[in-house]
Amino acid sequence: MLILQTVNELKEWVRDTKKAGKTIGLVPTMGFLHEGHLSLVKKAKAENDKVVMSIFVNPAQFGPNEDFDRYPRDLKRDQELADVAGTDVIFAPSVEEMYPRESQIQLSAGAQADVLCGAKRPGHFDGVLKVVTKLFHLVEADLAYFGQKDAQQLAIIESLVADYNFPMAIRRGETVREDDGLAKSSRNVYLSDAERNEAPHLRKALEMGKELVLQGQDPIEPMTVYLTENTSGIIDYIELLDYPTLTTTIQQDAILALAVKFEKARLIDNIIFNQKGN
């Protein structure tokens, strides 16, 4: 496995790989890898000749009071896990390498960023679009892989690729969970023991809400009561929207999503389903 840290090294590798007629799958990450990331590598490995994983904690998507400085980082551990999973190249640039000058052109995520996490994190998804656009151009991937746990991010990136005719496709990866149902997340390490015991109730609340939706009922208030009674976290939002448009008029698929703030971690989760419950 190669470890590349500069844009020029990456572009040279991409040029040689494309010249050899090989396809490339891209798995963008911010590191501190868990089974969710590795499941995307496995999927990418099955569908491409070569797999590139980016490991970059992107400052552009963190607000002034968010956890950029304390976001967990362990590049040595990440390299070992990525290697075992079958990654061919890790691209791990510095902030200065990715953003050598202040950007003159700004990207805006639009209306899809005005709900769910985006409503409370202005500019967050603009920062996501900034980094993935650079990665898509640098890696020249045939396919890029994103997990459904970050469903709003996934929807916005799919819109970016479709609206601006990127010569690639996005592959969705199912949310990977702990045995008790908690969605795998790099931020789970910030939970206290008591909060970790409470956290599986997020998934249970979503499952309850889904059943209420399929019965034609509004799930928001019952889910709010359930989470209030079973966790010490503060509910940031619970929303039911169309997916992937993220509008309030549900056409085919729906997303039921929530965010709960614990003392040192904000957890998100969601369920995407159709009218038949699939």
The angle at the Cα of 127, spanning 18 to 76, to the nearest 5 degrees, equals 65
pTM of the model: 0.94
CATH number belonging to domain 2-173: 3.40.50.620
Q: Is 176 annotated as a binding residue?
A: yes
Q: Is 218 annotated as a binding residue?
A: no
Q: Is 37 annotated as a binding residue?
A: yes
Q: What is the pLDDT of residue 275?
A: 86
Q: Is 137 annotated as a binding residue?
A: no
Q: Is 201 annotated as a binding residue?
A: no
Q: Is 150 annotated as a binding residue?
A: yes
Q: Is 152 annotated as a binding residue?
A: no
Q: What is the pLDDT of residue 277?
A: 80
Q: What is the pLDDT of residue 84?
A: 97
Length of the chain: 278
- The torsion angles phi and psi of 27, rounded to 5 degrees, stand at -120, 95
Q: What is the pLDDT of residue 8?
A: 98
Q: What is the pLDDT of residue 66?
A: 85
- Residue ranges of the domains in the chain? 2-173, 186-272
CB-based contacts of 2, cutoff 8 Å, min separation 6: 13, 88, 89, 90
37, 124, 137, 201: the catalytic one is 37
For residues 268 and 81, give the distance between their C-alpha atoms in angstroms, rounded to a whole number.
24
Instruction: Tell me, letter by letter, the H, E, C secondary structure of 41-83.
Output: HHHHHHHCCEEEEEECCCHHHCCCCCCCCCCCCCHHHHHHHHH
Q: Is 36 annotated as a binding residue?
A: yes
Distance of CA 182 to the CA centre of its chain: 15
Tens of pLDDT along the chain (278 residues)? 999 999 999 999 999 999 999 999 999 999 999 999 999 999 999 999 999 999 999 999 998 888 898 888 999 999 999 999 999 999 999 999 999 999 999 999 999 999 999 998 999 999 999 999 999 999 999 999 999 999 999 999 999 999 999 999 999 999 999 999 999 998 999 999 999 999 999 999 999 999 999 999 999 999 999 999 999 999 999 999 999 999 999 998 999 999 999 999 999 999 999 988 87
Q: What is the pLDDT of residue 64?
A: 86
The answer to whether the 2-173 and 186-272 domains have the same CATH topology is no
Architecture of the domain whose range is 186-272: 2-Layer Sandwich (3.30)
Residue type at 249 in one-letter notation? T
37 is catalytic: yes
Q: What is the pLDDT of residue 278?
A: 79
Contact 50, 140 (CB under 8 A): no
Q: Is 187 annotated as a binding residue?
A: yes
Token reading at 27: 């798995």
